[in-house]
Amino acid sequence: MTNVSIIGVGQTDVREHWDTSIRHLAWYAIEAALDDAHITKVDALYVGNMLAGQLSNQNHLGALVADFAGMRGIEAVTVEAADASGGAAMRQAVLAVKSGLVETALVVGVEKTTDETGSPVTAAQATGMDADYEVIHGLSYAGMGALLMRRYMFEHGVEVVDFAGFSVNAHANAGSNPLAMFRNRLRADRFASGPMVADPITLFDAAPLGDGAAAVIVTSSERALDMVPKPVEIAGSALATDHIALHDRKDVLWLQAVETSTKKAMDAAGVTHADIDLFELHDSFTVMAALSLEASGFAERGMGWQLARDGEIGRNGRIPISTFGGLKARGNPLGATGVYQVVEVARQLRGQAEDCQVADAKIGMAQSVGGSGATAVTHILRLPV
Amino acid sequence: MTNVSIIGVGQTDVREHWDTSIRHLAWYAIEAALDDAHITKVDALYVGNMLAGQLSNQNHLGALVADFAGMRGIEAVTVEAADASGGAAMRQAVLAVKSGLVETALVVGVEKTTDETGSPVTAAQATGMDADYEVIHGLSYAGMGALLMRRYMFEHGVEVVDFAGFSVNAHANAGSNPLAMFRNRLRADRFASGPMVADPITLFDAAPLGDGAAAVIVTSSERALDMVPKPVEIAGSALATDHIALHDRKDVLWLQAVETSTKKAMDAAGVTHADIDLFELHDSFTVMAALSLEASGFAERGMGWQLARDGEIGRNGRIPISTFGGLKARGNPLGATGVYQVVEVARQLRGQAEDCQVADAKIGMAQSVGGSGATAVTHILRLPV
């Protein structure tokens, strides 16, 4: 079976890009990825996007972006799985190259959410949960995070301040990433006293929505070796789902899709947890970071927060996470976020993470989560041995 | 390389399904397809949908539908390419099975557009065109069809009445399809005098939006032979794009994506035009049917309408189209339509088209078009020899 490798990555900064249209954002990331791969065109394009239809009156981004990027005619579609859209688009590119029908595939995650503010964006984002059984009762993403955090605190006997380490780490890392949205330092003793978003989640806990685009180019591993000096192999790729509504889950504190997709990706890659040098996870809220560490097997149930407390998620820790700032501080451009994660892991493995570099990173994992965990996509990347 | 075959198909009727949620609609089609294939679960789900985010406040349909269909945990995503979403989802399923990573894939196209009426739906549908350069100036889908028809009439010296044959044929065929939205006969002499939609397009020319769902299950051709008596092989599969905006095209009367995807699919299948026994094309407007016949090579440029005039598109004609009523009379549930087309071709080849049967159909083509032609997906199906 064909193995798949990354030959180019690109990204824009994450911020409020009010002066840049969605097609321009996508193009800036694509242009950087094409330059990185030293090519000018590809055979297929997979766009990860969640909300362009609702917030920019623009669907059909596959054809639109292919056209604007000067690749008129190529195969191009949009892939959507709520905020896991970027990871899902990445997965389709892997399948396409593995099929043998597509030689070189481009993935671009792109999202613009900040042209509008307040309730239209909150409502649009909430389309990633169950409209008929959750959102109709008023549930928002922040409300969902708050429910999970309250339950976590109750079941595991921890306080709000015990989650601080996740945000402190994210902001510390973002300080070294010039493309991050929030590069300010966050002090642990300020964490719990941030402006309230949805009790107990404060502004210092919730990842900020931002505009941005990231792009990845993949081809067969055999071709990749002739094309770039350091192709990064996609050793494992898996997408899993779960009940979409929280109330349908047997255990709301267990992200089953995260567990399943992690296991499948690790099995495919033939690696164990000890082999993973860094993990770009879905820290949309600190509780989601804790739950992701637990379901993916880096911590026991109820113990994820301890990795943050003990500094194990830092650049020199046991399992570095959010190495460029994560969703919390690099910023969360929803459907683009999953592609940012892959770009970041690839940069780490190529030794091009600059001030964010994790020393001697050989194998890294990127995990994109949608909704309250109904979709999880996991990719394991490594340098060829 | 793995060949891919269809082992199950299912569909709902197309109409105003006000009493049925989007998840129920999807399930009814899935249930029928599972029954048809004599299986209860699959490995991956590809949902074709265009507007659930805008019209039902529901994105994340992959996880939602997998969950509701009792397949919690499986790989599941939404694929979007405007009204070609159904064809695009079909294409992803083919790639997934060919990749060897997915054994059995389910495609469901589902759309609900009639819970709202008038301008919200018109505006939502228009997201399939260029928001910044076309729709902002007021272009709607019907307006786009009208521009194309006017230009066609001017360049090729034909009148409105010369397009009548397409709608007459569609309604005649829909009369034999109990699942069709409009089963009434349409007389050629009434065609041009229908209520005006966008001059020169009348109600008798424009395909009606409807709610509906259709499902297809695919697996490797080798497995398929052990599972069902008449697996239908997907001999060719191709997706191509074009400039999204009409004004960017060198020739607005040439659907380049249709030409490209047809050629690629026919080359892959190793068939010529003479081999194709029926062709489910994108007759959203009669001019789109004419342009599709021309760009796909069944008629010379400017001659597509003559096939309708001469009865060549009828059940016993040279190239039967819209054999169950097409978009015009079966109804057009946007993101589901491309899957309906594949279901219909499969039923024809299996000899299960009942009163819509094309005699001795061995090879059929389904073609899903998005926007004004910016995406075209072509699948060629055949019975194993």
Average pLDDT, stretch A210-216? 98
Is the Cβ of B249 closer than 8 Å to some Cβ of chain A? no
Per the listing, tokens 């905006």 go with B245
Report CB contact under 8 Å: A53, B96: no
Is the Cβ of B202 closer than 8 Å to some Cβ of chain A? no
- The C-alpha of B176 sits at a distance from chain A's nearest C-alpha, in angstroms, of 34
A-to-B residue pairs, Cβ atoms closer than 8 angstroms: 215
Is the Cβ of A96 closer than 8 Å to some Cβ of chain B? yes
B265 alpha carbon, distance to own chain's centre? 16
CA angle A75, B130, B110 (to 5 degrees): 65
Amino acid B296: pLDDT: 98
Report CB contact under 8 Å: A60, B101: no
Q: What is the pLDDT of residues B36-86, one digit of tens each?
A: 999 999 999 999 999 999 999 999 999 999 999 999 999 999 999 999 999
Minimum-distance CB partner of A80 among B57, B59, B128: B59
Average pLDDT, stretch A30-53? 98
Report CB contact under 8 Å: A77, B79: yes
Is the Cβ of B24 closer than 8 Å to some Cβ of chain A? no
Amino acid B117: pLDDT: 79
Cα B164 from Cα B205, distance rounded (Å) = 8
Instruction: Please answer whether residues B278 and B365 qualify as being in contact, where contact means their C-beta atoms are separated by less than 8 angstroms.
Output: yes
Is the Cβ of B322 closer than 8 Å to some Cβ of chain A? no
Q: Give contacts of B99 with chain A, Cβ < 8 Å.
A: 1, 94-96, 98-99
- The C-alpha of B133 sits at a distance from chain A's nearest C-alpha, in angstroms, of 11
Q: What is the pLDDT of residues B15-47, one digit of tens each?
A: 999 999 999 999 999 999 999 999 999 999 999
Within B112-180, strands assigned E span none
Is the Cβ of A258 closer than 8 Å to some Cβ of chain B? no
Cα A285 from Cα A149, distance rounded (Å) = 9
Cα A76 from Cα B155, distance rounded (Å) = 31
Instruction: Please answer whether residues A39 and A217 qualify as being in contact, where contact means their C-beta atoms are separated by less than 8 angstroms.
Output: yes
Amino acid A67: pLDDT: 98
Cα B139 from Cα B127, distance rounded (Å) = 10
Pick the CATH number of B140-203+235-382 from 1.10.10.10, 1.10.760.10, 3.40.830.10, 3.40.47.10: 3.40.47.10
Amino acid B119: pLDDT: 86
- Closest Cα to residue A147, out of A373, A334, A315? A373
B18 alpha carbon, distance to own chain's centre? 22
Cβ burial of B156 (10 Å; 0-12, 13-18, 19+) is: middle
CA atoms within 13 A on the CB side of B340: 37
Report CB contact under 8 Å: A132, B21: yes
Is the Cβ of B135 closer than 8 Å to some Cβ of chain A? yes
Choose from A19, A95, A237 for mutation: most chain B CBs within 10 A: A95
Helix (H, G, I), strand (E, B) or coil at B28: helix
Helix (H, G, I), strand (E, B) or coil at B252: coil
Is the preceding peptide bond at A200 cis, omega within 30 degrees of 0? Answer: yes
Is the Cβ of B243 closer than 8 Å to some Cβ of chain A? yes
Report CB contact under 8 Å: B67, A135: no
Cβ burial of B95 (10 Å; 0-12, 13-18, 19+) is: buried
How many of the other CB atoms lie within 10 Å of CB of A248?
16
User: Who's near B294: CB < 8 A, 6+ residues apart?
Assistant: B254, B255, B300, B301, B302, B303, B304
Instruction: Please answer whether residues B126 and B135 qualify as being in contact, where contact means their C-beta atoms are separated by less than 8 angstroms.
Output: yes
- The C-alpha of A266 sits at a distance from chain B's nearest C-alpha, in angstroms, of 15
Amino acid A136: pLDDT: 96
Say which amino acid occupies A164.
A
- The C-alpha of B372 sits at a distance from chain A's nearest C-alpha, in angstroms, of 11
- Enter the CATH code of domain A4-115+210-232: 3.40.47.10
Helix (H, G, I), strand (E, B) or coil at A80: strand
| Tokens (6 digits) for B368 | 């899903």
The CATH 3.40.47.10 domain(s) of chain A lie at: 4-115+210-232, 141-201+236-382
Q: What mean pLDDT is reported for chain B?
A: 97
Instruction: Please answer whether residues A14 and A181 qualify as being in contact, where contact means their C-beta atoms are separated by less than 8 angstroms.
Output: yes
Shortest CA distance from A256: residue in chain B: B73
- The C-alpha of B93 sits at a distance from chain A's nearest C-alpha, in angstroms, of 10
Minimum-distance CB partner of A60 among B81, B100, B132: B81
Helix (H, G, I), strand (E, B) or coil at A289: helix
Is the Cβ of A306 closer than 8 Å to some Cβ of chain B? no
- Closest Cα to residue A52, out of A19, A88, A26, A16? A26
> Which helix (DSSP H) or strand (DSSP E) does residue B173 occupy?
helix B164-174
Say which amino acid occupies B168.
V
| Tokens (6 digits) for B350 | 């299996």
Average pLDDT, stretch A232-251? 98
- Predicted confidence band of residue A50 (pLDDT cuts 50, 70, 90): very high
Amino acid A26: pLDDT: 98
- Closest Cα to residue A79, out of A104, A52, A102, A103? A52
Helices first, then strands: H and E counts in chain B:
13, 11
| CATH class of domain segment(s) A141-201+236-382 | alpha beta
Report CB contact under 8 Å: B99, A98: yes
Report CB contact under 8 Å: A75, B130: no
Q: What is the pLDDT of residues B172-218, one digit of tens each?
A: 999 999 999 999 999 999 999 999 999 999 999 999 999 999 999 99
Cα B362 from Cα B385, distance rounded (Å) = 9
Say which amino acid occupies B335.
G
Q: What is the pLDDT of residues B342-363, one digit of tens each?
A: 999 999 999 999 999 999 999 9
Minimum-distance CB partner of B63 among A54, A98, A375: A375
- Closest Cα to residue A109, out of A190, A16, A9, A34? A9
Amino acid B327: pLDDT: 98
User: Who's near A279: CB < 8 A, 6+ residues apart?
Assistant: A293, A296, A298, A319, A320, A321, A364, A365, A366, A367
- Closest Cα to residue B255, out of B368, B173, B357, B352? B368
| Tokens (6 digits) for B316 | 């016993």
Is the Cβ of A54 closer than 8 Å to some Cβ of chain B? yes
Say which amino acid occupies A344.
E
| % helix, strand, coil for chain A, step of 5 | 40, 20, 40
Report CB contact under 8 Å: A130, B64: yes
Minimum-distance CB partner of B73 among A123, A131, A260: A260
CA angle B117, B121, B124 (to 5 degrees): 165
Query: Cα–Cα distances in Å, from B336 out to A92, B9, B60, B211, B226?
Result: 20, 13, 16, 9, 29
- The C-alpha of B125 sits at a distance from chain A's nearest C-alpha, in angstroms, of 9
- Closest Cα to residue A244, out of A156, A376, A344? A376
* Ramachandran category for residue A325: left, alpha or beta (phi over 0 → left; psi -120 to 50 → alpha): left
Q: Give contacts of A371 with chain B, Cβ < 8 Å.
A: 60, 63
**% of chain B surpassing 70 pLDDT:** 100
- The C-alpha of B3 sits at a distance from chain A's nearest C-alpha, in angstroms, of 11
pLDDT at B385 over 80: no
- The C-alpha of B348 sits at a distance from chain A's nearest C-alpha, in angstroms, of 27
pLDDT at B1 over 80: no
How many of the other CB atoms lie within 10 Å of CB of B172?
17
| Tokens (6 digits) for A223 | 């071709």
Strand A278-280 to A363-370 pairing = parallel
Q: Give contacts of A66 with chain B, Cβ < 8 Å.
A: 241
| Tokens (6 digits) for B297 | 């090579």
Amino acid A119: pLDDT: 86
Q: What is the pLDDT of residues B305-330, one digit of tens each?
A: 999 999 999 999 999 999 999 999 99
Shortest CA distance from A50: residue in chain B: B59
Cα A7 from Cα A4, distance rounded (Å) = 10
Report CB contact under 8 Å: A128, B60: yes
Cβ burial of A385 (10 Å; 0-12, 13-18, 19+) is: exposed
Q: Give contacts of B130 with chain A, Cβ < 8 Å.
A: 58, 64
pLDDT at A11 over 90: yes
| Tokens (6 digits) for A52 | 């362009």
Amino acid A280: pLDDT: 98
pLDDT at A1 over 80: no
Complete DSSP assignment for A215-240: EEEEEEHHHHHHH-SS-EEEEEEEEE
pLDDT at A385 over 80: no
Evaluated on CA atoms A276, A281, A285, A287, the torsion sign reads: negative
Report CB contact under 8 Å: A57, B23: no
- The C-alpha of A190 sits at a distance from chain B's nearest C-alpha, in angstroms, of 35
Q: Give contacts of A73 with chain B, Cβ < 8 Å.
A: 240-242, 256-257, 260
Report CB contact under 8 Å: A95, B102: yes
Per the listing, tokens 């016993």 go with B316
Report CB contact under 8 Å: B243, A375: no
The CATH 3.40.47.10 domain(s) of chain B lie at: 4-117+210-232, 140-203+235-382
Report CB contact under 8 Å: A73, B123: no
Q: What is the pLDDT of residues A325-377, one digit of tens each?
A: 999 999 999 999 999 999 999 999 999 999 999 999 999 999 999 999 999 99
| CATH class of domain segment(s) B4-117+210-232 | alpha beta
Amino acid A275: pLDDT: 98
Strand A44-48 to A104-111 pairing = parallel
Cβ burial of B117 (10 Å; 0-12, 13-18, 19+) is: exposed
Is the Cβ of B51 closer than 8 Å to some Cβ of chain A? yes
